[in-house]
Structure formats: C-alpha cells, structure tokens
Structure 1
C-alpha cells in the first residue's frame, strides 16, 4: 500500500553575500566593501560592474550586520517640518535618496516650526550616525552639538556664505537681480514680505533686498514678516501702503506668500501687474498656472538635498567636507505675467 509522500517545504534561498557579488563582478570583496561605504576612489567602470552584480544577485546590504562588524551606526535622523510643502518635499526626497545610495537608513521625524526638546531626547536616546535637518533648529542646534559632539549635524536651511557659490537655499543673489530688473522697468517704491528670520534663507533675502534698495537709491515702503504661508502673505498684502507715493513692486520671500499678496491686492481693487508688480521665490507649479502667472526664482532643490546630505556623510566618515562631489546649483529668474513696467513708465 502506497502512501502519499509528505510535501517537502520549499527552501528559502539564502541571501547573496558580498563575496558572491565580488566574484560575479570580477573584483575583490574589499572593493565591494569600499563601494558600499560610498564609492570612495573607485573607477567608474568598477562601480558599474559592482552595481550590475548587485542587481543580478538582488543583493541588499545588511545594515544591522554592518553596524555590528564596524561598531558604527548607519542610521540618520532627518528632521522635517510638520507641513512638508512642495519645495521642502523636493529637498527631502533627494536627501533621503542620497543617504540610501550611500548605504544609510533614514528615519524622518516631523516637528513644528519651533523645534522642541523632543529632538534632543531622540538624539540622546538613540545611536545615530548623524542628523540632517530641513528646518533651522535655533538654540537646539548648539545643545545637540555640545552634548553629542560625536553625532554630525547638518542643517540645510542654515547654510550661509560658505555655500554661496553652490547656489544653496541661503543664496539670495537673485533678489538683487530681480530688484535691478524691476528698477529698469521704472519701479521706485518697493515692499518686502519676508520669511521667518530664524531661517538663514529668509534673513539673507531680506538683507539683500535692503542692501539693493539702498545701492540703487530706491525707496522701501516697509516690510512684513510672514511664516511662509499664503495666509501670512495675504495679511501682509492688506497692510501694504498703496496711497501717497504708492508701492508699485512687492518682493515676497516665497511663492506661497506672493500668491497671498496678490489675493489681498485684488480685494483692495489693485491690478497685478498694471498697478503693482509681484515677485516670488521657489517656482511652485501653482504659480505658473495662477492668474496672473507668478514671476519667481527657480533653483535646483534636488541638488540642494544631495549636496547637503553628502556634506553630512562626509562628516560622518571624517572626510574633508566637500569631498563627496558637490554640484553647482544655479538659480534663475523666471519672468511671467505678475511683473511689468511701473504705472506711467514710458513704453
């Protein structure tokens, strides 16, 4: 009497090893290890061989095993605002992708505009490779670096003149170019809607605005400080002086606030750009389709994310900052329907 044989459970294929990747790529396992640590010094053709072998073997580095062997952490905390609007989301995606390609795992922590002790507690409780922040941390930054000097910290929003040539978030050069352009169209009286001054980008745009107004002997009718939102731009727009030597040009530190300004001007019976020209910053998609379409500043936010994360990884690996192959990220002015010649300016 025959008996049905018991089914043999299917074997789960063992994950590929670094040695199998090296053998298939025709390189040493030390070379594969160097690739996993960030491509340092490898020839382009070697990188292609290793990546091809990893893809064919479906090889995924075991971060936990790597951490145990090297006694190093491969976790990076990424601090993002609670409201991740369009420009921030582009920087965030690029930064996370760059960390992933370099073999690090990221954990995104969302906090309010005013960072809380929650972040300091997290850094104190966890073994981290580094911290990457999309928002300024204020006094919390100094607390983290003083209590945890072994945890590198990069704040993308805080870069100042040392990153000026890279076209970073803080580079305000286009603000001067934009005001010069508006002055060439006959505008003499300006108003500025600034972003939160804790942000280096906002502070630099305001500083550049004021310096350019002075240099060109123009008139500033004042400024208001918003919080990057359309609502704050709208509220600022309600306060812009439009009588007795009226303002004819408004520079808002981001597109959201510029759109809010245009709504307020509309409610006050002013036409954009026939009565008042409005300029923003960020090149948001909705600005292109708004009526009138918004003049703005375009920048490569993906490159900002890559550059900032590469800086952090250089610090984690004790490499010279900038050794990770940073890109030049140019910015350009985009002139659309919201800017035109000043009222009464000859054609």
Structure 2
C-alpha cells in the first residue's frame, strides 16, 4: 500500500549548518571532534543535529575522503559487567565521532579466535581496530598478532600505572579498606577474582597493600570467579572467610552471593559482618541491604580508549577524556564492627 507521499529527504550537513547559523566547515569540525569550537556554537550545532535527525552518510564520507569509517572492536566475556559497559562506551563514542563500531566477542577457548575474527573483520575496509583485553589469554593473543591498520590495545597491566584502568584497583581498595577500618574492623577477608585476570591480581595486591598501611593482615583470601555463585561458595565453605567481621568482594556480583550465604548461616549484614564490593552495578543499590561499593566509570573508559584509537587514525583528533577516579558509594551493607564476644 502506498500513501502517495514522497519520503522526507534525509538532512544534509548543509541543512545542519543553515539551522545552526554556522558554516558547513564548522559542522564538519564538530563531527570530527574538534575541540576549538566555542561552547555556544557547539550547542547550536548539537541542537540542529537533534532537531533535524541528521545522520552522517558514512558511505559518501568514505568515498569522498578515501578513508573508511568503520572500526573493528575485539573483546570477550561480555556477560561480565566491566567488559560489556566498556564496549558500550566505545560504541557510543564511535557513533558520536561518525564511525560504526563492529564488535566481535572472542571465544578464548579457541586458540585461533583472534586470527579468525580478524579475518572476518578485514573482509571490510577498516579505519582501525580497538582491542579490549581482560585476561592473560587476551593479552598474549593481542601482543602476538600483527595488525595491519591502526590499533589501540586496551589491556590492564599488572601494577603498571595507567590513566584509564589500573586506577580502579589503586583507588578502590584503599577507599574500601579505609572505610572498614574507620568502622573498627580489624578482621577483613577478601573474595578475589580469577587468577588469569590482571584486574583481579591488581585488586588483590592493592587489598593487601591497603591492609598493610593499617598494620593489618588479611583474615582470609578466597578465590572466586566474579560470579555470585563463587561469592556464595566462599562464605558457605566451613573455613571460607574465617572469623572476619568484614568481607571485601572483588566485584558486586560476588558480594551478592556472599550476602545471601551470610543470611542463610544466620549472620546479619552489616550487624554481624559488613560486605563491600567494587563496580557499582545498577542493581547494587537495590541489594538487601543496599551495597557499599566503588563506582567505576566503565563507559568513560570505553570512550577514552576509542578516542585514543581515533588519535592514531587521525592525528588531528585531539580529544583526551579525563576519566575520574573511582568513587566510594557508602550504603547500608557496611557498618560498625561487632563487639568482641
């Protein structure tokens, strides 16, 4: 069935320029992320783009410039909060910069995963590749791969200062341990993440260092795997967290399982045992009780990584995002240490 109406013609960069009262060169600079545009001018361009529903024609731009506007992104473990939200941030930044992000989640049980994924991606003309790594297997695969286009490898290194990633461990653990010590806790246990994740190792080292600053040693360290199931098992085991009056979980899902196991054993949170986590997932404030945790700006990490890749693709792209330090979110799962019995 036809209505007889002519479909609306898509808006062009010139329509945006007219609506914003600027030149089309200014709109082009805005779309490329140029930082020298006055705030009031930027606001007018943003408003015009939203009003007109303007979408860059990537095919036309690629033909005219001779450069692709597609980026390949390699990641894995998208079931985990951190990797999925980092990828979301990177995808959003790519769209805003006029690029399309083709996301490929790797199966690291397959030793040829990176090679096969690159073969799939390179069937298209790519401007660059964003390699988002979390595990030792990912790091080894990325560093042994020869990438033929500009590539930014975003992998957390063990104890290496980095402006975008390691700050989570180096800021979150001290803030959590300091918070618990201020409440009078001296017997503090850790439910760690998996050994093959550098982030897990960094968090464990930062935990021990934070305790040492207070002259304390860990009551117990139990190995987990980021899951609520492993947090539950760590507490349910007979000698799991020992006589700890506080538990630091390597992430919020682990904390959820730990709190359920404590409740099942008849121990109250936080009256008998305080529990804290890391990441501040959206559900954390709705745990029972709401979880004290550290907010990690995952999306900004993804955006920062994408812009660092764009700077490799185009040296004129000079956006350097300031990723804030993780922030302690105090809620009702932590409280004063119980009186000794």
Q: State the TM-score bracket (shorter-chain normalisation).
A: 0.7 to 0.9
Task: Give secondary structure in 2 for the equivalent of 1:109.
Answer: strand
**Structure 1, unpaired ranges of 5+:** 1-6
User: What is aligned with 1:259?
Assistant: 256
User: What is aligned with 2:289?
Assistant: 292
Measure, in 2, the Cα distance between the counterparts of 1:295 and 1:12: 53
In structure 2, the CA distance between the partners of 1:196 and 1:173, relative to structure 1 (3 Å rule), is same
Measure, in 2, the Cα distance between the counterparts of 1:54 and 1:276: 53
TM-score of the superposed pair, with normalisation by structure 2: 0.82
- Pairwise CA distance, 1:141: 1.5
- Pairwise CA distance, 1:10: 6.2
- Pairwise CA distance, 1:311: 2.1
**Structure 2, unpaired ranges of 5+:** none
Task: Give secondary structure in 2 for the equivalent of 1:219.
Answer: coil
Computing the radius of gyration over CA atoms, which structure comes out larger, 1 or 2?
A: 1
User: What is aligned with 1:120?
Assistant: 115
Q: Give the aligned length.
A: 334
Is 1:140 aligned to residue 138 of structure 2?
Answer: no
- Pairwise CA distance, 1:116: 5.1
2:246 is aligned, of 249, 254, 268, to 249
- Pairwise CA distance, 1:330: 3.3
Shifted more, 327-336 versus 154-163: the winner is 154-163
Deviations 1:201-238 (A, max 9, x none): 32221111111222322121332332211112122223
User: What is aligned with 2:57?
Assistant: 62
Measure, in 1, the Cα distance between the counterparts of 2:111 and 2:249: 28
Shifted more, 294-303 versus 83-92: the winner is 83-92
2:325 is aligned, of 304, 327, 330, to 330
- 1:271-282 to structure 2, matched below 5 A, reads 271-282=268-279
In structure 2, the CA distance between the partners of 1:240 and 1:116, relative to structure 1 (3 Å rule), is farther
User: What is aligned with 1:111?
Assistant: 106
Task: Give secondary structure in 2 for the equivalent of 1:270.
Answer: coil
Measure, in 2, the Cα distance between the counterparts of 1:327 and 1:207: 25
- Pairwise CA distance, 1:98: 1.3
1:130 is aligned, of 106, 119, 128, to 128
2:235 is aligned, of 228, 234, 237, to 237
Task: Give secondary structure in 1 for the equivalent of 2:104.
Answer: strand
Preserved CA contact (<8 Å) 1:159 1:170 = no
Preserved CA contact (<8 Å) 2:157 2:166 = no
Deviations 1:244-292 (A, max 9, x none): x722221111010111122233344433333322211122343323323
Is 1:307 aligned to residue 304 of structure 2?
Answer: yes
In structure 2, the CA distance between the partners of 1:77 and 1:92, relative to structure 1 (3 Å rule), is same
Task: Give secondary structure in 2 for the equivalent of 1:297.
Answer: strand
In structure 2, the CA distance between the partners of 1:26 and 1:229, relative to structure 1 (3 Å rule), is same
User: What is aligned with 1:339?
Assistant: 334
In structure 2, the CA distance between the partners of 1:260 and 1:112, relative to structure 1 (3 Å rule), is farther
User: What is aligned with 2:150?
Assistant: 151
Measure, in 2, the Cα distance between the counterparts of 1:271 and 1:22: 61
Is 1:270 aligned to residue 267 of structure 2?
Answer: yes
Shifted more, 305-314 versus 9-18: the winner is 9-18
Q: CA RMSD in A?
A: 3.4
Shifted more, 280-289 versus 223-232: the winner is 280-289
Preserved CA contact (<8 Å) 1:15 1:59 = yes
Preserved CA contact (<8 Å) 1:191 1:222 = yes
Task: Give secondary structure in 2 for the equivalent of 1:336.
Answer: coil
In structure 2, the CA distance between the partners of 1:199 and 1:169, relative to structure 1 (3 Å rule), is farther
- Pairwise CA distance, 1:104: 0.4
Task: Give secondary structure in 1 for the equivalent of 2:219.
Answer: strand
